[in-house]
Amino acid sequence: MTTQQQPTYLASELVAQVRERSKGRLDARLSGEDVVVKRFMPPQSAGTGDMAFLTDARYADAMKASAASLVILREKDYEAVFGAEGRTQGSVLLCEDPYAFFAFASQLLFPVAATPGIHPRAYVEEGAEIDPTAAVEALAVVKRGARIGARAVVRSGAYVGEDAQIGAECLIHPNAVLEAGTVLGERCVVQAGAVLGGDGFGFAPFRGEWVKIPQVGRTVLGDDVEVGANTTIDRGALDDTVVGEGTKLDNQIQLGHNDRIGKHCVMAACVGIAGSTTVGDHAMIGGAAMINGHITIPSGSAVGPATAITGWGEKPAQRTGFFPALEGKDFQLTAATLTRLPQLRKDLKALEREVAELKALIRKEEA
Amino acid sequence: MTTQQQPTYLASELVAQVRERSKGRLDARLSGEDVVVKRFMPPQSAGTGDMAFLTDARYADAMKASAASLVILREKDYEAVFGAEGRTQGSVLLCEDPYAFFAFASQLLFPVAATPGIHPRAYVEEGAEIDPTAAVEALAVVKRGARIGARAVVRSGAYVGEDAQIGAECLIHPNAVLEAGTVLGERCVVQAGAVLGGDGFGFAPFRGEWVKIPQVGRTVLGDDVEVGANTTIDRGALDDTVVGEGTKLDNQIQLGHNDRIGKHCVMAACVGIAGSTTVGDHAMIGGAAMINGHITIPSGSAVGPATAITGWGEKPAQRTGFFPALEGKDFQLTAATLTRLPQLRKDLKALEREVAELKALIRKEEA
Amino acid sequence: MTTQQQPTYLASELVAQVRERSKGRLDARLSGEDVVVKRFMPPQSAGTGDMAFLTDARYADAMKASAASLVILREKDYEAVFGAEGRTQGSVLLCEDPYAFFAFASQLLFPVAATPGIHPRAYVEEGAEIDPTAAVEALAVVKRGARIGARAVVRSGAYVGEDAQIGAECLIHPNAVLEAGTVLGERCVVQAGAVLGGDGFGFAPFRGEWVKIPQVGRTVLGDDVEVGANTTIDRGALDDTVVGEGTKLDNQIQLGHNDRIGKHCVMAACVGIAGSTTVGDHAMIGGAAMINGHITIPSGSAVGPATAITGWGEKPAQRTGFFPALEGKDFQLTAATLTRLPQLRKDLKALEREVAELKALIRKEEA
């Protein structure tokens, strides 16, 4: 993708670093020679220096035939793939979760490239505290009182407002904006053009006009949050707008003032959440879903794509709702019928009464 | 929120300045000592230097017990809250509209901070006219022919194109873009990343391809317009795209070329309006509403959230329409039934005829 | 619109240059004097130096009376408009497609203004290759390995990442971001604030958390693609995200990783397409449509506005689906009835059976 030299690893090093990166939660056992690896490939096209991983037994044959230097699979799949004699070419990593191993290892193979230090053409105000291992690129802006942690990277054109805090190893992409007071935990990623800490949408009605209410809360992100390109997260009115650790937000999402998003949620692109709504932990929100303000969505809930949420009960649930797409004329006809639905229901009830009367009449006659 | 020193006010000064800021429309009567105040707090947590305001009689008890230096309420609520003896601790402001007072006063308590003048690291072309009281921050861009009014602020990374006009006291947030020829009235706020005056979406079909039609109109905003973060307002094709005075647009809104939005409207986030649509004054548009092009929505109308508008009559109205969110299986079943709705209606009509025939038959038998 | 001097043309020059610009496909025949023209106007307000064009016979009278120096119409409309004696004032261009002529000619009348060369206040890294006829404006960023073609323009604040490629005559508006490796064909337009090549939304689930998978594909655009303001097109996970030549994307569109959009498509604003979806050539997607991932939409298909697409068959089709907007109470009632639709259908079926039984009973009685 870029001219940057890609790193290579010994399989044993990779295992050690994945273990560390996963906070000791993901281990792997190497069987065979300690080979040099540099990238992942599909089993059928992998060769020397390549890794291939298996998560789906349907690809067992391709894996068995693979010329990859290193294959990664679950211990329980090993015999099914390679039979009693085992793999005869290249090495093997046995790992409880090969897909997670792929993700962690890929992070090591494609490290974020940046030159530590403040570029002479960056604009950094006096009174900003920037860790010497952090990188502030040319034409980035860091205002007074801002603090930037170790190994964090602020790309060209990004704006870090007064008193904003950026934790260690955060990556702020070009032209992203962190307005004054915004707080990021560690290892957050903010994609290009995202705006954190813009004013919430607060106005007092006054004689048919709208009077702006200054928004004095902040936007606060936990550790390991990802914010997609051109996503916007407004600052709170008085309290903060909060996104919990590990939550991943896709592109063009809008979070209103005082929203409180839980931990380890995922939201697909184009979601909009009005102000003062709470979303619990581990929620999954489909693309282009629209969620009203002042709602609480319990932890573990899921919202389907293109779904409008205007309320919720106390229990976690999976909710979806969108008009099914129909071919041209069918849509017109179905939509027109839909608007008569209440009348249609009344007609049915009336007919039910009529039939009941007829039935009674006939019974009487029979009797 | 920021390291900036926050101002304090004597109650009497605040009243005078709110009066001025509201153009003489909002007054308040001070009763008691002329106390020093610096912020608003909820009644129960307010103390010395704090203000609390009452808009809802349900909070009368908290207000009565409040230790705020200054409480603000309607004259008609005063006796209900404090009884015949009146408030015994701190001072009182009697005001017709405490919430609007809160909004205006908050603007004074949280003034926009900026250093007047052109920062040496701003890029300002020759032929731009910038009022000496305006602020153009580091790495902002102002092109030839642009005019920037008194006390206006152009933040870092913002772009003000050729011949753009920015009225007095406007605030252009970081990385916002005003393309060439864009016009802003006074006191407009453009949040970060917004794009005003981008090309409208105009193409001529030609042999299965699309030929770009240069868009030569402008984007023109009245006084006191607010534009949310990453909102986009395209320039007109020939005529201008216009947003009327006092209208407030939330984040990630899209207005197409030649839209004409009235005065004092509010639009929640993620609204999209296609080109050449007119929205009257005081309209309220819910979040993620989608409005087709070449429509006129009369003044005073309201559109609900997530609602698609494809036409309108001549009268103002409140319109809403979105598929209700249902739990997983219920959605599938309901959506499937919906697509059979026209058939279902036919079946009902057929059954009605059948029952009518049966009834006739029975009557004949009876006779 | 701007202080820039607008060019003037002899009619014959304009015809020649439109022919060239349309790659020889659009010709026009001049009848009368070779007049000087400088702009298009509606027939009724056009005068000396103006052009007017006719595409709709309803405006024939205005065209007949027009004082335009040059009128442009189809040969087959000429006699219907000007009668047997022909046009008596000014000149005439006979052209098979007057609207396309207007589009091409307007491009010539409103050329993109830029000063070739790298502005001394641009930030261009060593190892970037910039054609000497290209323009890189003040405070634009071009990183190492990037290549910028002839007569291309990179406006202030735009970011061109490592190894990005920009074809001849591309126009990159202010504050747009092309992340590392992004590829643009010739004559592409990227409006302000658009983000190309941001990371796709890819995470591996691991113990209730989400582990980022580095996205190492690219975003690749063909020739003549237009990308609207604040639109986002993510880079691919492994393979590329591709937009075919001639496709026009409006503002605030989101394309996910590994989407493959065909040639000469149009998408209105606010469309969202999840990852790994394929859209064929000449497709038309309405505003705010939402398209799920891993779908193939055949060439020539159309999707209506505000429509959710979750699947498609093998044939091109036109599909639409959104809940019709209703006045306040009607919406509540209709939505409530909709959720009972499956029960309503059951009730109808039950009633049909009952009526059938009644009918059988009566027949038996009759017999």
Distance (Å) from the alpha carbon of A174 to chain C's nearest alpha carbon: 7
Could B230 and A232 be called an inter-chain contact, meaning their C-beta atoms sit closer than 8 Å?
Answer: yes
Q: Specify the pLDDT at position A1.
A: 38
Give me the residue from C145, C213, C334 closest to A3, CB to CB. C145
User: Do C194 and C217 form a contact (C-beta atoms < 8 A)?
Assistant: no
Query: Which of C136, C290, C310 should be substituted to probe chain A, the one whose Cβ sees the most A Cβ atoms within 10 Å?
Result: C290
Q: Specify the pLDDT at position C3.
A: 41
For the record, the structure tokens of B65 come out as 């017990």
User: Do B233 and B243 form a contact (C-beta atoms < 8 A)?
Assistant: yes
Distance (Å) from the alpha carbon of A260 to chain B's nearest alpha carbon: 17
Distance (Å) from the alpha carbon of A135 to chain B's nearest alpha carbon: 18
Could C103 and B324 be called an inter-chain contact, meaning their C-beta atoms sit closer than 8 Å?
Answer: no
Question: C82-95 burial, b for 16+ CB within 10 Å, e for fewer?
Answer: beeeebeebbbbbb
Q: Specify the pLDDT at position B31.
A: 95
DSSP for residue B246: T
Chain A's closest residue to B111, CA to CA, is A214
Mean of the per-residue pLDDT values of chain C: 96
- 244-263 of A, contacting B, C-beta below 8 A: 252, 254, 256
Q: Specify the pLDDT at position A111.
A: 94
ipTM attached to this prediction: 0.96
User: Do B237 and B197 form a contact (C-beta atoms < 8 A)?
Assistant: no
- 44-103 of A, contacting C, C-beta below 8 A: 97, 99-100, 102-103
Chain A's closest residue to B107, CA to CA, is A214
- Tell me: the pLDDT tens digits for C113-132? 999 999 999 999 999 999 99
- 157-176 of A, contacting C, C-beta below 8 A: 157, 173-175
Long-range contacts at B256-263 (CB < 8 A, ≥ 24 apart): B256/B200, B256/B201, B256/B293, B256/C269, B257/B200, B257/B201, B257/B202, B257/B215, B257/B217, B258/B200, B258/B217, B259/B233, B262/B299, B263/B222
CA distance C182 to B194: 23
pLDDT class of C337 with cuts at 50, 70, 90: very high
DSSP for residue C199: P
Query: Which of B21, B55, B106, B169 should be substituted to probe chain A, the one whose Cβ sees the most A Cβ atoms within 10 Å?
Result: B106
Single-letter amino acid code for the residue at B366: E
User: Do B308 and C306 form a contact (C-beta atoms < 8 A)?
Assistant: yes
Neighbours of A36 (CB within 10 A): 15
User: Do B188 and B206 form a contact (C-beta atoms < 8 A)?
Assistant: no
Residue A361 scores a pLDDT above 90: no
DSSP string, B106-165: HHHHSPPP--SEE-TTSEE-TT-EE-TT-EE-TT-EE-TT-EE-TT-EE-TT-EE-TT-E
CA distance A242 to A247: 11
Q: Specify the pLDDT at position C5.
A: 63
- Tell me: the pLDDT tens digits for A209-218? 999 999 999 9
For B186, the enclosing helix (H) or strand (E) is none
Residue C4 scores a pLDDT above 60: no
Could B323 and A337 be called an inter-chain contact, meaning their C-beta atoms sit closer than 8 Å?
Answer: no
DSSP for residue A151: T
User: Do B142 and B124 form a contact (C-beta atoms < 8 A)?
Assistant: yes
pLDDT class of C149 with cuts at 50, 70, 90: very high
- Tell me: the pLDDT tens digits for A167-195? 999 999 999 999 999 999 999 999 999 99
Q: How many residues are listed for chain B in this entry?
A: 367
Give me the residue from B193, B282, B328 closest to A318, CB to CB. B328
User: Do C172 and C195 form a contact (C-beta atoms < 8 A)?
Assistant: no
Question: C251-278 burial, b for 16+ CB within 10 Å, e for fewer?
Answer: bbbbbbbbbbbbbbbbbbbbbbbbbbbb
Neighbours of A263 (CB within 10 A): 20
CA angle B37, B42, B43 (to 5 degrees): 80
DSSP string, A192-242: TT-EEEEPP--EEEETTEEEE------EEE-TT-EE-TT-EEEPPSSS-EE
CA distance B169 to B185: 9
Q: Active-site residues of A: which are they?
A: 257
When pLDDT is averaged across residues C65-74 and rounded to a whole number, the result is 97
Distance (Å) from the alpha carbon of C119 to chain A's nearest alpha carbon: 14
Q: Specify the pLDDT at position A183.
A: 98
User: Do A168 and A148 form a contact (C-beta atoms < 8 A)?
Assistant: no
Could A355 and B352 be called an inter-chain contact, meaning their C-beta atoms sit closer than 8 Å?
Answer: no
Contacts of B270 in chain C (CB under 8 A): 270
Is some CB atom of chain B closer than 8 A to the CB atom of C107? yes
Residue A108 scores a pLDDT above 90: yes
Q: Specify the pLDDT at position A5.
A: 63
CA distance A345 to A367: 33
Side-chain half-sphere exposure of B196, counting CA atoms within 13 A: 37
Give me the residue from C306, C325, C344 closest to B319, CB to CB. C325
For the record, the structure tokens of A143 come out as 């205002």
Mapped onto helix, strand or coil, the DSSP state of residue B190 is strand
CA distance C306 to C312: 17
Beta bridge partners of A40: A51
CA distance A155 to B124: 23
Question: Which class for C38: exposed (0-12), middle (13-18), buried (19 or more C-beta within 10 A)?
Answer: middle
Contacts of B109 in chain A (CB under 8 A): 214
Could A248 and C307 be called an inter-chain contact, meaning their C-beta atoms sit closer than 8 Å?
Answer: no
Q: Which residues, 6+ apart, have CB-to-CB distance to B60 below 8 Å?
A: B54, B77, B80, B81
Contacting subunits of C (3+ beta carbon pairs below 8 A): A, B
Q: Specify the pLDDT at position B2.
A: 42
Contacts of B195 in chain A (CB under 8 A): none
CA distance B149 to B170: 8
pTM summary value: 0.97
Q: Between the CA of residue B315 and those of A355, B276, B283, B293, what are the distances in Å?
A: 42, 19, 12, 18
- 316-355 of C, contacting B, C-beta below 8 A: 322-328, 331, 335-336, 338-339, 341-342, 344-345, 348, 351-352, 355
Could B201 and C269 be called an inter-chain contact, meaning their C-beta atoms sit closer than 8 Å?
Answer: yes
Contacts of C338 in chain A (CB under 8 A): 338, 341
Residue A2 scores a pLDDT above 50: no
Edge-first strand listing for the sheet containing B141-142: B123-124, B141-142, B159-160, B177-178, B195-198, B232-234, B254-255, B272-273, B290-291, B308-309
Q: Between the CA of residue A229 and those of A226, A260, B202, what are the distances in Å?
A: 10, 20, 25
Contacts of A200 in chain B (CB under 8 A): none
Mapped onto helix, strand or coil, the DSSP state of residue A145 is coil
- Tell me: the pLDDT tens digits for A36-47? 999 999 999 999
CA angle A244, A250, A251 (to 5 degrees): 130
Neighbours of A23 (CB within 10 A): 7
Long-range contacts at C252-255 (CB < 8 A, ≥ 24 apart): C252/A230, C252/A252, C252/B230, C252/B232, C252/B252, C252/B254, C252/B272, C252/C228, C253/C228, C254/A250, C254/A251, C254/A252, C254/A269, C254/A270, C255/C231
Query: Which of C211, C351, C363 should be substituted to probe chain A, the one whose Cβ sees the most A Cβ atoms within 10 Å?
Result: C211
Count A/C contacts: CB-CB distance under 8 Å.
236
Chain C's closest residue to B357, CA to CA, is C359
DSSP for residue B312: -
CA distance C156 to C136: 8
Q: Which residues, 6+ apart, have CB-to-CB distance to C206 below 8 Å?
A: A22, A25, A26, A97, A100, A103
Could A201 and B339 be called an inter-chain contact, meaning their C-beta atoms sit closer than 8 Å?
Answer: no
User: Do B15 and B30 form a contact (C-beta atoms < 8 A)?
Assistant: yes
CA distance C19 to C21: 6
Q: For chain B of 367 residues, list the mean pLDDT of each consecutive stretch of 10.
A: 70 98 97 96 94 92 96 95 93 97 97 96 98 98 98 98 98 98 98 98 98 97 98 96 98 98 98 98 98 98 98 97 95 96 96 93 81
Beta bridge partners of C234: C198
Q: Active-site residues of C: which are they?
A: 257
Could C308 and A328 be called an inter-chain contact, meaning their C-beta atoms sit closer than 8 Å?
Answer: no
Structure-derived torsion over alpha carbons of residues C24, C30, C34, C35, reported in degrees to the nearest 10: -90
User: Do A177 and B192 form a contact (C-beta atoms < 8 A)?
Assistant: yes
Structure-derived torsion over alpha carbons of residues B54, B57, B58, B64, reported in degrees to the nearest 10: 60
pLDDT class of A202 with cuts at 50, 70, 90: very high
Distance (Å) from the alpha carbon of C31 to chain B's nearest alpha carbon: 24
Distance (Å) from the alpha carbon of C367 to chain B's nearest alpha carbon: 13
Chain C's closest residue to B319, CA to CA, is C327
The DSSP bridge pattern shows strands C278-279 and C260-261 to be: parallel
For the record, the structure tokens of C284 come out as 């038309």
For A255, the enclosing helix (H) or strand (E) is strand A254-255
Distance (Å) from the alpha carbon of C349 to chain A's nearest alpha carbon: 11
Single-letter amino acid code for the residue at B290: M
Is some CB atom of chain C closer than 8 A to the CB atom of B280? no
When pLDDT is averaged across residues C172-194 and rounded to a whole number, the result is 98
Residue identified by tokens 């992100």 is A221
Query: Which of C320, C327, C341, C363 should be substituted to probe chain A, the one whose Cβ sees the most A Cβ atoms within 10 Å?
Result: C320
Q: Active-site residues of B: which are they?
A: 257
Could A103 and C206 be called an inter-chain contact, meaning their C-beta atoms sit closer than 8 Å?
Answer: yes
DSSP string, A320-366: E--PBPEEHHHHHHHHHHHTTHHHHHHHHHHHHHHHHHHHHHHHHHH
CA angle B221, B224, B229 (to 5 degrees): 75
The fraction of chain A above a pLDDT of 70, given in percent, is: 99
For C41, the enclosing helix (H) or strand (E) is none
Could C323 and B323 be called an inter-chain contact, meaning their C-beta atoms sit closer than 8 Å?
Answer: yes
Q: Specify the pLDDT at position A365.
A: 79
Contacts of A174 in chain C (CB under 8 A): 141, 159, 161, 177, 179
Single-letter amino acid code for the residue at A348: L
Give me the residue from B216, B304, B355 closest to C1, CB to CB. B216
